[in-house]
Each structure stands twice: as structure tokens, then as C-alpha cells.
Structure 1
Amino acid sequence: MATTTPVAEARGITKRFGSTVALRGASIRVEAGQVHALVGRNGAGKSTLVSVLTGLRAPDEGEVAFGGEPAPRLADRAAWRRRVACVYQRSTIIPGLTVAENLFLNRYDRGRTGLIDWRTVHRRARELLETWSVDVDVRTPAGELDVERRQFVEIARALSFGARFVVLDEPTAQLDSAAIGRLFGRVDDLRRQGVAFLYISHHLHEVYELCDAVTVFRDARHVLTAPVAELSRSALVAAMTGDAAPGARRARGRPPGDAEVVLDVVGASLPGAYRDVSFRVRAGEVVGLAGAASSGRVAIAETVAGLRTAAAGAVLVAGSRPRPGSVPAALRAGVGFVPRDRHHQGLVPGMSVADNCTLTVPDRLGPAGFVDGRRRDAFARRMIANLAIKAPGPGTPVADLSGGNQQKVVLARALANDPRLLVLVDPTAGVDVRSKEFLLDKVEEVAGSGAGVLVASDELDDLRMCDRVLVVFQGRVVAEMTAGWHEHDLVAAMEGVDPDG
């Protein structure tokens, strides 16, 4: 039985929203200097627990304590900030303010005249960042920072209030592998200084690389807490899903070598992104573009989908050359597209599931550009059934769905025009294990029906279903690997490392 006082503890937390029970008797305990993972499928209750732990919501039952003392009143925000902070997947940094202004927002030093003493503010900001080894110019507008540096600034800001318990919510979702390594190094440094972290991620390999302990929630309940070193990956997945861990991906028959070429990229270049890229995708084939987020793989996929224009070379879809840089032209040529960021590129949050599913096919919903609501809803119901989207009906606001179901809506829209080529960028980012399996199975089904598939990702699970994987490094295709590749070889190529060197 533990004898130390935990930095943070939630006991017997129950939270209801109307008839929905978001948490039922859930508990978690985080020790000083510990990185504690919280995992579970979408809808398991993770976000609700975080809102309770950070004082955004009061539990209906149960209690929260910090350092053995009861949590402050919800209205006492200053007291909460001294105990806990959350660095969300979506940054809370204000881009129009400088780093120093963000660090001390509403806490500025004032001189005798009552005016802000900017010299003192900048000095304190530099001292704060130096204390936590964050190398950022305090006068830099926050909007100019990359995702990695924004996260470090947010962590430093949280610690400046006195909090020694930090929640990291999907912190690696927009980072490449090098930035993830630096983030993990910073977290490890802070852990040694006694800072505790609650680490939320869908990437289970990160749990095993970084975390000391893991807690699993499923269906609004606490399922288990265990030291990471004592829990196998299969047992962890089984705890999350309630059944056995998913097995290896099913083997698919490769398309014949004379199958129709549905994508032909010839000598494509875009300064600052990629150069002299050439490859083909045949009907029924799944081809991967592997590499870090900054490697150029995303830009290549977005060029194929019409979001970018190559400065040189050509992109042909099923023998035709759609107008470069035109999404409508790519759609007419037969391209379906799942973008990297479903929140900003993939969904219109104020619209319904039906409207989002059918954005690419207005011509099928009524004559002369008019939308027949009944035809639209019938079309959407077929897509909802086909992709097992959990929604009360086609009129449900897409913003009300879980992350996994939102991603299914994005895929539904990409498939609505029966594409000859499906292009996906990081298709399983930020979704739970079960949704990931479902989405990848559906992509394989699409390939089995005769469409070509291009998957740009750095997720090994996404790439395992590919017939071929093209590795992109610093804007060039540096390697091609066929199905059955070894993880070590692929990761080494993605990082530009010679495994035999």
C-alpha cells in the first residue's frame, strides 16, 4: 500500500450529463516525479476526468485532492492554477501577443505610475524560460512559434504559477519524431525535478517509451492501473477494448503489375517542400509515403489532392491532368481526400453529419444545384451505416461526435464521390484503438474494390497495410520498401540514418 502523499488524486468520481454517465466511480493517483499515462478509447471518460482534475467541472460524486488537501472551490481559479495545469492539443497561447505577454498575461509588473514595466516583464520572462531550459526569444510574437516551442512555452507558463502537476493532452499529435524526442527529454528533465505529468495519448508506443505507470478507462469506468514495465502491450490493448488485442493486419493480394495507373507523379518539385518526386499508384494498390511531418510527405499528398501547386513536374490522375492547385479539379478527376487536420481542414463543425458527408457531391442531391433534404439524408444514412458512425441521425451536429466518429465522417465525405484514388494524410491521428482498426480495415476495403490508395503517415500501423512504402526525407524519396519491411529499417530511413553505418 502506497505511503507517500500523491501530487494529485481523484477518488470515486462520477459525472453525468443528462442521461449520459461520462464517469462512474473513476479514480486515479499520480505521484511526484511520475509520468502517468491515461489511455482509453474515445468516449471512455478521459476528457471528463481532465475537466474535473483541472477544476473546469465539479464531480457529481467523489473528491479531488492535491498533495493530500481537498481541491479548491471551482471559483478560485488562481488556487487551481497553483496546483494543476493542462497543455491541450489545441494551443491556448494567444498568437497576437509576444511570448513574454503570454507568460505573464494579467500578471504584468507595474511601475510607480501604474503603467506596465515591460523591462521587468521581459527580464522575468527570460529568467522563467532559462529556469525550465526553454530557448525562445521572449519578444517573439507567439504566432511565429512552431507547435513544439508553443508547447514548451505553455509548460513554462503553467509552472510559473507554482503548479507541479501538468496534464499533457495528446502533445505529440502535430510533432515530428525529432520534436517528440525533444519533448520527451524535457518531460524527463522536469520529472527529475519533481514535476508530475498526466500523459494522455492514443499512441501506445509513447506510453512504453516515456511513462512510469498507466491507468486505463473504458466505458466511463476505471479498469486498471499498473506499472508500465509490468504490463504487456497486448494486455493494455485488451484492457482498453474489452477483448483480445487486434492481430496483424490481413494480407491482401497485390494488384497485378499491369493494373491501371490511377496516379502518376512525374518529376514534381515544390521549393521548400519536396523536389524531383516521381512514383505511381495502380488500381487496387496501397502506397505509403513515410517520413517526419517536415519531410515533405504531407506536401506531396496535398499536391495530389489539389491543395498545393507543384512548381515543376506533373500529377496525372487516371491519365488526365487536373488543373494544378485546384481541389474541385482533383475531385472531378476522381480524387477523394482525408486531410491531416480534421478540425480545421476536414469538418465544418457548425454543420450536421449529413451536410459534412455530402459536401463533395451536391450534384447527387438535387437538380441545378438545389439540395433535396430527403435525398441528402438518405445518402448520409447509407454512409453512416457503411462506416458505422455513431450518431443519433444525419441531422446530428458533427461537433457532438467523438474524435473517432468525426474522422469517419471525414472518410465518408472522401468516399462519397466513389474515388478512383483515395489520398489520406495521418488518417488515424488522435483516434482510439478500435476506431483506428476500423478505419484501416475500411481503407483496405476501398483498395479491394479497385481504387488506388495513397497514405501519407509516420504511424507504423497506418503503413503496415501498404503494398509499398516510399520513404521521404528532406523532400526526396530516399527508399522504397515492400510489404514485410522491418520496423528498424523503416524508422532508420525516415530519420535519415544508415542502420549499417
Structure 2
Amino acid sequence: MLSLQGISKGFPGVKALTDVSLDVAAGEIHALVGENGAGKSTLTRVIAGVFQPDAGTVRFDGRETVWKGPGDAKRHGVHVIYQEFVLFPHLSVAENIFVGHERRNRLGLIDHGRTRRDAKELLARFGIDIDPEALVRDLSVADQQMVEIAKALVHDVKLLILDEPTAVISGREVDVLFDRLRRLKQQGVAIVYISHRLEEIFALCDRVSVLKDGNHVATRTIDEVTRDQLIALMVGRNLAELFPVRRSAKAPGPVVVAARNVEVSGRVRGASIELRAGEITGLAGMVGAGRSELALAMFGAIPMRSGSLVVDGREVSGLSPRRAIDLGIGLVTEDRKGQGLAMLLDVAANVSASTLNEFGRGWRFDRAREKRVAEQEIASYRIACRGPSTPVSVMSGGNQQKVLVARWARTSTRLLILDEPTRGVDVGAKTEIYRIMHELADRGVAVLMISSELPEIVGMSERVVVMREGVVTGELSKSEISEEAVVELATRRLAG
């Protein structure tokens, strides 16, 4: 279905792809893996007609092809589901699914009734339980992802490219997605599957191609490569090195922050958690368990219906993000681009965002000092960029994440909450983020890590708290932590 020969693509000062060749057969699920910056996104955009290659040829459905643009590729059956959603938050689910392909009546006017009916039928066929009339802005991130997938399947798909499709879903939603992709495969659709979650590659894909530094390293069938070998091809690093051993073996310190009987309307029910100085605590559970809502409530970003936050033994009044920051609490949000980073600003401005008063007030803002501080953080956190003035929008996901961590590490003297800290970043960047978490804990900071990846929870946590449907179902000490124990608590039937 797709054959790439000798594809090269460069940008000013950057060679993104060099002589890349690979093919994807009809009825095949073909994984594309590599670190951030390996060239996966650029190659995807070449296939989808966003970029024209500087050299090489693209053959699609048996013919050499030069797309005039993304619309041309889409008309021929090439559809991409990007990691960053392309949805209209103020429109309904049905309207988003059929945007650009509106259902119309005989007079040429939009037929809203038919739009809702067709959307309901499509969602049901895909196994998605979402109200077609609901506004997208009111959906969870996981449900928004499912709408994005449903939107692509409206069309006649010959080649479907998915970029990190499970980054924001888990459990049943992943099973539903995999089932649908297997059905599309049986129908002869060629699928390119991009993911950093290697367990998904082995569970779903037929072949895997590895990119590194813009070069095609290897293509293997799934049954001829192991997880360790695949990581070695990607980064030259053994799997055993993925979760670094923490240098400090000190016992955890006193409780510095505690949430007591927190209620968040509709999402969290009487949840309590204690966080100790120098300890990395994992917060686990399925998507929708209320983990992020609990974190946001502890940071003062959403209101508690009831309950309290206790810092160093004293209950906090008037909790807000500003108050949390003053208390030494930081939050790296799950949605780094939508809620974390200022994408139009540079590294220096993003690093300083939570401590602006440190650099002056009003027109006396000390930009030179801000840049010096950013240079220190760039070196400390090994952020790959051209310097403090680099726009964060041009950086890889892993380096964007390290900018966010650098920002909050400057202010988080008591507690740093990390919500899905390695979502959508490569194996190498993950290891760097894990190293940073260890360094913060060694400095006496309490670290709360929310993660949907069980190997990450098991590999990094010194204690694990598990939630289900807004309720804390249990807690595991270091010696008790295992994937099986976490899953048992995450799926435990709730009393009543």
C-alpha cells in the first residue's frame, strides 16, 4: 500500500530525515518507533502530504505519488490521527465527527438530526459510549481521543496513521481501540502505529521499523525481536537501565503534605493521601479513577467540595494555585501543551513562569537574569535546545516536559506532583525525567507521580496509592508493589 524510497527532508539547520526507506502492506499494522527527534513526526507529515520530501519517492496504492497537500492525501485515503487533538471544543461530538463532511438536507442546509443519528451509529459501531450531543469541551481527554478516532473512520481509509493513540486512554478504551484496528486490518487497511509503549507494539503490530536521528535503523517482524533488543535499536540502552537505581537509601521523612477526605464534585469521594519528604509515591488507577482531579484539588486548581489540605501539620485556608506555590507545592499537569507550557514563548519565559516576582515587577522585569537562570536549568536538566531564547513550540516532547519540570522544581520545596510525566516522550527522555525525580527526592522533596503505565509505577515508586472511581482503594509499601497488586486494587469492587 505504501512504499517510501530514499526519503530525505531538512529544515534550516536541521536534517530531519536522511535516505529513509520502508514499506507498509495492505492489511498490516506496522509500528514506527524511536526517540523524540528521531524523525517519526516528519516522516508522518511527508506521508500525509504536509511536507514535500527534498529527495526520494512516495508510492501509494501502486503509484508514485506527489501529494498537493494534506487534503489531496486524505481524498486518496490517507488519514492521520495526531497526538494533539484537532477538535472544536464548542461544537458537539456529532458536529466534530462530520466537520467538513456535514450531513445536509435537500435544500443544502445542515441536517442536525441526521448528523446526530449518523454519529450515534458510528460511535456504537466503534464501541464508544459518548452522547453525540455533548460538547467536546465537556468530555474527558480519553473521550476526546475516541472522538478523534471516530472522526477519521468517517472516510474511506486505505492508510491510517496513529500517533500515540493510547497516550490518554487505558483499560477498556485501549481494548476497544485494538479491536477496531484489528478489524480494519482484516478489511485490508494499512495501519502505521506510532507509540512509545512497547508492550502495545508486541500486542498489536505485525512489524516494527526503528528510526534514530532521522535514519532508518531496522525493520523487524515482531516475532524476531525482543523488548530489550528493540530498546537497544532505539537508544543503545538496555532495558535494565530504564529505571535508574536511586542513590539515596534514606528512610522517608515526616509527612509534609496530606489530603484529608477530599471530595471533588462527581470525581473524587472522600480520598485521603499522605506524602512524605524524600519519598516518591505513585498514584495509580484506571483512566477516570479521579487521580488528576485529586491532584488539581491539592494544588487549588479546582475547588474541593469538602475535605482539607494539611501542610506541615497545619490545615491550609484559602487554597489556590498561588497559595500552593507559596507553600512550596508544584504541579506538572497531564496536558503539557494545553495547561502547562506557554507555547508561543521561549524556554526562559516558561522556566520563570511560576516565579515572575523573582525577576522584578512591571517594566523593570530583568530579562537578562531570567535568561541566566534558564541557562542554569538547561544545563542542570540536560534540555536539548539552542538556548534560553528557543521557542518551546519547536522542541521535542521530552524536552518540553523537562522545561516544565525545571519550572516547578525551582518552587517545589515541599511537594512536586507529576501527572503522567512521561506521556508521549521517548525512552531516553523518560530515563532523564526519572533521574530528575530521584534528585528531587534526594533533596527532601515529596514527589507524587500519577501514571497509567504499570511498569513505571512499579519501577519508580517507593509507595503506591491506588484509586478507583474517585475512591482510594488501597496502599502498597515498597515490598508489596507489583503490577498484579496494583491491578487488583485498581479493579477492586467498591463497598456499597
Q: Normalising by the residue count of structure 1, what TM-score does the alignment of the two structures yield?
A: 0.90
Identify the residue that residue 487 of structure 2 maps to in structure 1. 491
Contact 1:288 1:468 in 2 (8 A): yes
Equivalent residue letter for 1:402: S
The Cα of 1:115 is off from its aligned counterpart by 4.2
Equivalent residue letter for 2:178: F
- Partner residue of 1:478 out of 456, 473, 477: 473
Contact 1:35 1:213 in 2 (8 A): yes
CA distance in structure 2 between the partners assigned to 1:321 and 1:227 by the alignment: 57
| Superposition map of 1:248-327 within 5 A | 248-251=243-246, 253=248, 255-256=250-251, 259-327=253-321
The Cα of 1:198 is off from its aligned counterpart by 0.7
| Deviations, residues 233-287 of structure 1 (Å, cap 9, x unaligned) | 1111111103434425315555436x33211222222232222222322211111
| Superposition map of 1:332-371 within 5 A | 332-366=326-360, 370-371=364-365
Describe the shift of the 1:297–1:96 C-alpha distance in structure 2 as closer, same or farther (beyond 3 A).
closer
Identify the residue that residue 377 of structure 2 maps to in structure 1. 383
Describe the shift of the 1:479–1:75 C-alpha distance in structure 2 as closer, same or farther (beyond 3 A).
closer
The Cα of 1:373 is off from its aligned counterpart by 1.6
Contact 1:72 1:80 in 2 (8 A): no
The Cα of 1:481 is off from its aligned counterpart by 1.3
Identify the residue that residue 196 of structure 2 maps to in structure 1. 202
CA distance in structure 2 between the partners assigned to 1:135 and 1:303 by the alignment: 27
Describe the shift of the 1:388–1:249 C-alpha distance in structure 2 as closer, same or farther (beyond 3 A).
closer
Which secondary structure state, in structure 1, belongs to the residue aligned with residue 22 of structure 2? strand
Equivalent residue letter for 1:166: L
CA distance in structure 2 between the partners assigned to 1:497 and 1:194 by the alignment: 40
Contact 1:8 1:31 in 2 (8 A): yes
Identify the residue that residue 397 of structure 2 maps to in structure 1. 403
Equivalent residue letter for 1:352: D
| Superposition map of 1:50-65 within 5 A | 50-65=44-59
CA distance in structure 2 between the partners assigned to 1:170 and 1:110 by the alignment: 33
The Cα of 1:440 is off from its aligned counterpart by 0.7
Equivalent residue letter for 1:234: D
Which secondary structure state, in structure 2, belongs to the residue aligned with residue 269 of structure 1? strand
CA distance in structure 2 between the partners assigned to 1:443 and 1:461 by the alignment: 16
The Cα of 1:130 is off from its aligned counterpart by 6.5
Describe the shift of the 1:117–1:387 C-alpha distance in structure 2 as closer, same or farther (beyond 3 A).
closer
Equivalent residue letter for 2:288: S
> How many residues end up aligned between the 2 structures?
491
- Partner residue of 1:183 out of 158, 168, 177: 177
The Cα of 1:69 is off from its aligned counterpart by 1.2
Describe the shift of the 1:148–1:279 C-alpha distance in structure 2 as closer, same or farther (beyond 3 A).
closer
Which secondary structure state, in structure 2, belongs to the residue aligned with residue 280 of structure 1? strand
| Deviations, residues 67-96 of structure 1 (Å, cap 9, x unaligned) | 211225315834543221011122223344
| Superposition map of 1:98-109 within 5 A | 98-108=92-102
The Cα of 1:427 is off from its aligned counterpart by 0.8
CA distance in structure 1 between the partners assigned to 2:373 and 2:149 by the alignment: 46
- Partner residue of 2:80 out of 80, 86, 97: 86
The answer as to 2:26 corresponding to 1:28 is no
CA distance in structure 2 between the partners assigned to 1:344 and 1:299 by the alignment: 16
Describe the shift of the 1:480–1:142 C-alpha distance in structure 2 as closer, same or farther (beyond 3 A).
closer
Describe the shift of the 1:391–1:474 C-alpha distance in structure 2 as closer, same or farther (beyond 3 A).
same
Describe the shift of the 1:100–1:374 C-alpha distance in structure 2 as closer, same or farther (beyond 3 A).
closer
The unaligned stretches of length 5 or more in structure 2 are none
Contact 2:15 2:214 in 1 (8 A): yes
Structure 1 stretch displaced more, 91-100 or 408-417: 91-100
CA distance in structure 2 between the partners assigned to 1:208 and 1:303 by the alignment: 37
Root-mean-square deviation (Å):
2.6
The answer as to 2:166 corresponding to 1:166 is no
Equivalent residue letter for 2:487: V
CA distance in structure 2 between the partners assigned to 1:268 and 1:105 by the alignment: 40
Structure 1 stretch displaced more, 128-137 or 197-206: 128-137
Identify the residue that residue 4 of structure 1 maps to in structure 2. none
Describe the shift of the 1:418–1:153 C-alpha distance in structure 2 as closer, same or farther (beyond 3 A).
closer
Structure 1 stretch displaced more, 436-445 or 365-374: 365-374
CA distance in structure 2 between the partners assigned to 1:305 and 1:24 by the alignment: 45
Contact 1:165 1:197 in 2 (8 A): yes
Identify the residue that residue 3 of structure 1 maps to in structure 2. none
Percentage of matched positions with identical amino acids:
37
CA distance in structure 1 between the partners assigned to 2:70 and 2:250 by the alignment: 63
- Partner residue of 1:451 out of 445, 455, 474: 445
The Cα of 1:369 is off from its aligned counterpart by 8.6
Structure 1 stretch displaced more, 377-386 or 217-226: 377-386
| Deviations, residues 318-360 of structure 1 (Å, cap 9, x unaligned) | 3343335401101111112211111011111111111110112
The Cα of 1:43 is off from its aligned counterpart by 0.5
Contact 2:329 2:415 in 1 (8 A): yes
CA distance in structure 2 between the partners assigned to 1:433 and 1:396 by the alignment: 23
Contact 2:31 2:192 in 1 (8 A): yes
Identify the residue that residue 18 of structure 1 maps to in structure 2. 12
Equivalent residue letter for 2:218: L
Which secondary structure state, in structure 2, belongs to the residue aligned with residue 14 of structure 1? strand
The Cα of 1:42 is off from its aligned counterpart by 0.6
Identify the residue that residue 460 of structure 1 maps to in structure 2. 454
Structure 1 stretch displaced more, 278-287 or 469-478: 278-287
Describe the shift of the 1:164–1:492 C-alpha distance in structure 2 as closer, same or farther (beyond 3 A).
farther
CA distance in structure 2 between the partners assigned to 1:325 and 1:282 by the alignment: 20
Contact 2:49 2:72 in 1 (8 A): no
| Deviations, residues 162-215 of structure 1 (Å, cap 9, x unaligned) | 222101111111113221222112212222222221111111111112111111
Describe the shift of the 1:468–1:66 C-alpha distance in structure 2 as closer, same or farther (beyond 3 A).
same
Equivalent residue letter for 2:181: V
Which secondary structure state, in structure 2, belongs to the residue aligned with residue 316 of structure 1? strand
Contact 2:145 2:168 in 1 (8 A): no
Identify the residue that residue 32 of structure 2 maps to in structure 1. 38
| Deviations, residues 415-442 of structure 1 (Å, cap 9, x unaligned) | 1125221111111111110010000111
Contact 2:352 2:370 in 1 (8 A): yes
CA distance in structure 2 between the partners assigned to 1:111 and 1:282 by the alignment: 62
Which secondary structure state, in structure 1, belongs to the residue aligned with residue 162 of structure 2? strand
Describe the shift of the 1:443–1:102 C-alpha distance in structure 2 as closer, same or farther (beyond 3 A).
closer
